[in-house]
Structure 1
Amino acid sequence: MSDPARPERIDFSGFEAALRRQAAERAQAARTPTVPTANASRSRLTEVELSWIEKRQEHWIRFGRVAQERILTRRTRVMSFRPGAIFAFVRWTANDYGTVTSRIDVVRAVAPGEPYTTLPFVRPGGDILLHIESWPKVQQVLAAIDAVEMAGVDPCDAAPDHWRHVHNRIAAGHQPRPYTLERHRAWLKRREIEG
């Protein structure tokens, strides 16, 4: 019988051995290089789900450099964009009585760990440069995109500040200033200096 004043000795040898084994496994894992998998590389991309239901719903990309494309169903596909890529995402929905929603967003895809704003059908989200609702205003944005293309510049390469400018001017009820080659050259010089 044990003495009540003296506690029994507990054997920790098995516990200490398990701790040493776990520490060795962690050290080995830290030394082993990781090979990126398809899912890991996909997680670095911004994914946009596009869908089309005749006379009901249309989601499409107006411009953007697509890194990957996956077809999920006959009516649904997913477009992926690399960090830093700028794209325009248009959403239109209707019911039996006509158009319910019309929206366009110009978004910059973000890198992992970078802050972002959530947006429906965009995973994880992005840096929203322009967000316009209602078909007349969406048409103004589409005209601004056409104007950039007519100036000889791919809208993906236009200065992000231009899309913020277009957003602010249209939201205030004014016409946006055109994007010129001079402005584009100034943006390229600024990016060269900053980068």
Structure 2
Amino acid sequence: MTGTAASRMRGSAVPLPVSPDHLTHVELTWIEKKIEYWIRFGQHTRETILDRRRRILSFQPDTIFAFVRWASNDFGTIISRIDIVRAIAPGEAYQTLPFVRPGGDILLKIEGWPKVETVLHLVDAIEAMGIAPADAAPDYWRHVHNRLTAGHQPRAYSHDQHRAWLKRRRIAP
């Protein structure tokens, strides 16, 4: 859902503002064994510490990052989720996401610990190849999302796929 569509659902015709610094801001919280929100990969450009449990990381447009959210109560895990997001540039359409302002281009959205764990293993495998997961082809993260959502195993990322992505990125605007 784009920011404009989301604002209409709230009853306002005014879209959510893109931050004046053109960065995408992610609010992270860490309360041991209760709420643990963290960035698994992605290079932030700024960090703002709000208090001992909360901070905000800011990302430049086109930066890809993985945002992991986990929370529990007295009865166990209540949320386990990973989102892989591309930070947007001013004027781009975007999807809203909790704790991400204004939002981003969501490449992957997975819920439930078994599927989240699968994504984390895929991230580890990409790192083991010597490739930063934030530099992997965005289409790969969409593939992983679609396969896991359909209940299938995603294909592994390959060096050939990565070389093709790097060539495509050089020639396409």
Q: TM-score category by the smaller chain?
A: 0.7 to 0.9
- Map Cα deviations across residues 155-185 of structure 1 (whole Å, 9 max, x no partner): 0100000000011111111111111111100
Q: Which of 88, 109, 117 is the matching residue for 1:110?
A: 88
Q: Which of 180, 189, 193 is the matching residue for 2:158?
A: 180
SS in 2 for 1:112: coil
Equivalent pair of 1:151/1:179 in contact (CA under 8 Å): no
Aligned partners of 1:167, 1:145: CA distance in 2, in Å?
A: 13
Aligned partners of 1:178, 1:150: CA distance in 2, in Å?
A: 12
Q: Which has more strand, going by share of residues?
A: 2
Alignment of 1:49-128 (within 5 A): 49-128=27-106
- Structure 1 residue identity aligned to 2:29: S
Aligned partners of 1:149, 1:162: CA distance in 2, in Å?
A: 14
Q: Which has more helix, going by share of residues?
A: 1
Tell me the residue number matched to 1:135. 113
The higher relative CO (CA closer than 8 Å, separation ≥ 6) is in 2
**2:123 matches 1:145:** yes
Q: Write out the 4+ residue segments of structure 1 that deviate beyond 6 Å after TM superposition.
A: none
- Structure 1 residue identity aligned to 2:140: H
Q: Which has the larger radius of gyration?
A: 1
TM (norm. structure 1) is 0.78
Cα RMSD of the aligned pairs, angstroms, is 1.0
Q: Which of 122, 128, 140 is the matching residue for 1:162?
A: 140
- Map Cα deviations across residues 108-127 of structure 1 (whole Å, 9 max, x no partner): 00011110000000000000
Shift in Å, 1:54: 1.7
Unaligned residue ranges in structure 2 (runs of 5+): 1-18
**2:171 matches 1:193:** yes
Q: How many residue pairs end up in the alignment?
A: 155
- Map Cα deviations across residues 81-131 of structure 1 (whole Å, 9 max, x no partner): 000000000000100000001000000000111100000000000000000
SS in 2 for 1:73: coil
